[in-house]
Amino acid sequence: MASGIVNIRRDVDDKFYRYRMPLLTTKIEGKGNGIKTVIPNMSDVARALSRPPTYTTKFFGCELGAQTSFDEKNDRYIVNGAHDANRLRELLDVFIDKFVLCKSCKNPETELVILKIGRSEDIIRDCKACGERTGIDMRHKLTTFILKNPPVKIKKGKNKNTGDAAGGDGNADGAGGESDDELTKKIKAEAADLNTDAALAKEDWSADTSPEAVKQRVKALEGSLAATVLGGDDEGSDEDANSPYSQLGRWIEENRGDGAEDSKAHAIAIYKKAEELGIEKKHKTVLIVVQTLFTEDILTELPKYVALLTKIVTSEKHQKSLLGGIEVLVGLSHPDLVPAVPKILMALYQADVLEEEVVTQWGKHVSKKYVDKDTSKKVRKASEPFLKWLEEAEDDEDDDEGDDE
């Protein structure tokens, strides 16, 4: 342990294991609020893993809920707060497992490749040893960072002109670290847009979501599915990798991509899979579907899956799971989507998937059930323009006597 070199797979006890890396070291600097953990040999460790040192540093930040900063020119990689070296080494093991080792043969000689399928992007590990390509869990927050700062070898140009190089000069890296002021500004800008957007959304959606159309689609969906009798009521633990929920999540992720072409067939297939697992009526299923089916393009994806959502969101409890799924998706997986929260909620509301009372209640109560408290707050704060619109729409309706809808 004192020796400076360890096996990349620390669970492998073989002295002759080929894949080695320097043991990660740390140095605490500063004090009080400014205390931070510098990782002096981050770039050496990262090089041994063939990953940019920004990925590992950012990963620590995601896992610890801490701000990170990098100054690549001066080779400084920093996690805010005081963190124990052993804790960081354990987290590095997790990073290695999730983002380096081939899922199939556990060899660390892999390369990260970004795959663009339709509008969705996936990150996979391309194994030099066995040739397998295995997927990364796209729910992890780091994937957003990787997509924004793709591995250098991959020159797949993104059309978005984000133009930000990985790192910067020691600036805090932004994601999750936005000041409230910036956030408020964004929300206000969003609110200003909302009226036109709402009108737009309504137009786009009316074709798709008239009650008849929805009913018909749901009927079609039902018709093509064999009716089955439901199992018991216990929800099972989602921690369990073999729980039906995990199985469904994995299945949706693995079969993503095809959906871009024929979302209707895809929606039916998802429902069938849930049914096969006996969980199509469970509220937790909604949570899994939202987290795994939707990507940062949720606004374009949503209309395609209204029928599925209508089918699986059958009670207030289900709606809460749906909102929980949105919190995870927006708050953790794709923080860039936070400003889009009002539009997402609007879309769900206008599709009659979400009810006014439920979403209003949700907006008033910060909850740690699905995400941490800060994220929960942030998502709710972002939803304010929509909630306000809802309230005003309600007031208008009250003025219209005789219309009891």
Residues found near Zn ion in the complex (CB under 5 A): 102, 104-105, 107, 127, 129-130, 132
- DSSP string covering 10-52, please? TT---TT-S-EEEPP--EEES-GGG-EEE-TTHHHHHHHTTS-
3-state secondary structure of 307: helix
Closest to Zn ion by CB, 103 vs 304, is: 103
Cα-to-chain-centroid distance, residue 241: 18
Closest to Zn ion by CB, 127 vs 270, is: 127
Closest to Zn ion by CB, 102 vs 371, is: 102
191, 385 contact by CB (below 8 A): yes
Beta carbon of residue 95, minimum distance to Zn ion (angstroms, whole number):
18
For the chain, the distance separating the N- and C-terminal CA atoms, rounded to the nearest angstrom, is: 70
Residue identified by tokens 């090089």 is: 47
Beta carbon of residue 99, minimum distance to Zn ion (angstroms, whole number):
14
Closest to Zn ion by CB, 102 vs 147, is: 102
Beta carbon of residue 250, minimum distance to Zn ion (angstroms, whole number):
18
Residue type, 140: H
Interior/surface letters 17-46, b for 16+ CB within 10 angstroms, e for the rest: eebebbbbbbeeeeeeeeebbebebbbbbb
Nearest-CA neighbor of 236 among 304, 176, 174, 287? 287
Closest to Zn ion by CB, 102 vs 322, is: 102
H helices present in 314-383, as ranges: 316-326, 341-350, 356-364, 373-382
Beta carbon of residue 107, minimum distance to Zn ion (angstroms, whole number):
5
Closest to Zn ion by CB, 130 vs 366, is: 130
Closest to Zn ion by CB, 132 vs 193, is: 132
What order of strands is seen across the sheet that includes strand 68-71? 27-29, 36-38, 76-80, 68-71, 169-172
Beta carbon of residue 129, minimum distance to Zn ion (angstroms, whole number):
5
Beta carbon of residue 101, minimum distance to Zn ion (angstroms, whole number):
8
Beta carbon of residue 134, minimum distance to Zn ion (angstroms, whole number):
7
Closest to Zn ion by CB, 117 vs 129, is: 129
142, 62 contact by CB (below 8 A): yes
- Cβ-based neighbours of 268, under 8 Å, separated by 6 or more: 221, 224, 225
Beta carbon of residue 9, minimum distance to Zn ion (angstroms, whole number):
13
Beta carbon of residue 229, minimum distance to Zn ion (angstroms, whole number):
42
H helices present in 96-128, as ranges: none
Closest to Zn ion by CB, 129 vs 189, is: 129
Beta carbon of residue 246, minimum distance to Zn ion (angstroms, whole number):
22
* Helix or strand (DSSP H, E) at 384: helix 384-399
Closest to Zn ion by CB, 129 vs 165, is: 129
3-state secondary structure of 390: helix
Give the C-alpha distances (Å, rounded to integers) separating 394 from 93, 391, 401. 52, 5, 12
Q: Which two tokens stand for residue 384?
A: 């304010």
